[in-house]
Amino acid sequence: MRIFYYILYLVILHVSFFCTFPTPSQAKYSGLQTKQLSVLQRKKRAATADQSRLWPNATIPYEFDKGLPKNLKNLLQNAIHHWENKTCIDFVPKLKHHKDYVVFTTESCGCCSSVGKIGGRQTLSLSSYCASESVAIHELGHVVGFWHEHTRPDRDSYITVLWNNIYKDLHKNFFKRNSFEVNSFGRPYDFASIMHYGPRTFSNGKGDTMVAINGEKMSHQSASLSTEDIIQTQLLYQCPEPECEFLISASTRGRITSPYYPSHYTANVDCQWTVVVPEGI
């Protein structure tokens, strides 16, 4: 991997959804398992359009189920730190006055969560056969209020879903959402999103479950929040916009714009962003 540095000079320019992971017998074909996953992918988030699903003040109360194994608790704590370090989202231990909160637990659904705040007690589940830090970051993305990126209303312009290669009981994880459920804030489709599955996620062994429309090879599921994940979280919760210090992932073709384009920036501000590109380009 090579890292290039660009100095950019700017003058004012609802219903809960569960992300269910496969049973242990299905796990060997899934792209979201315990292996460390690649972050090098190309770059709109499928954020909830239901304002009632947003957490007040971008603050999410939580508690750990008493039976949650220590290793899973550690994964969740690392994932929480990742979200807090990259975005304005704040996870706080549940107190008595918190009526809406998340319980981190282990349930039969595997690795799953509802989308956004549903009211009262809600759960995020991690199971040992599907849990990793990247999966924990992904599931927290659902809690924050994000659907899967590959279920955006406009996804058919970017990917083809190969239904015959997906376990039938897991088809729901690829169902396209409608425009009443999703607000993408006009942001571009993001192959690098932590909320985008890899090309073999939930494969029944017959091959890839998704292919890019342009014929380019899709990389594995991302292991961390992408630039667009961070931007859309800030937009979703109307947080202060960090103007600089972004890490931008780029592919072998396309164009790079300032992270908040076409939004305005402060006049006469010098910004430096790190652009990560595949080796050899």
Structural domain boundaries enclosing 156? 47-237
Q: Is residue 33 part of a domain?
A: no
Give the residue ranges of the chain where pLDDT is below 50.
1-18, 20, 22-45
**Residue 264: strand pairing partners:** none
Catalytic hit among 139, 149, 181, 228 = 139
* Residue 148 tokens, joined: 């899967």
Tell me the pLDDT tens digit for each residue of 204-242.
999 999 999 987 777 777 788 998 899 889 889 988 765
Beta strand 2-10 pairing with 159-161: unpaired
Write the CATH number for 201.
3.40.390.10
Distance CA 170, CA 189 (A): 23
220 annotated as belonging to a binding site for a ligand: no
- pTM for this one? 0.72
Q: Is residue 249 part of a domain?
A: no
Q: What is the DSSP letter of 164?
A: G
150 annotated as belonging to a binding site for a ligand: no
148 annotated as belonging to a binding site for a ligand: yes
Residue type, 71: N
Q: How many domains does the chain have?
A: 1
Q: Catalytic: 63? A: no
**Residue 248: strand pairing partners:** 275
Phi (first) and psi of residue 81, to 5 degrees = -60, -40
The pLDDT value recorded for residue 16 is: 41
Sign of CA dihedral 236, 241, 247, 253: positive
Tell me the pLDDT tens digit for each residue of 135-146.
999 999 999 999
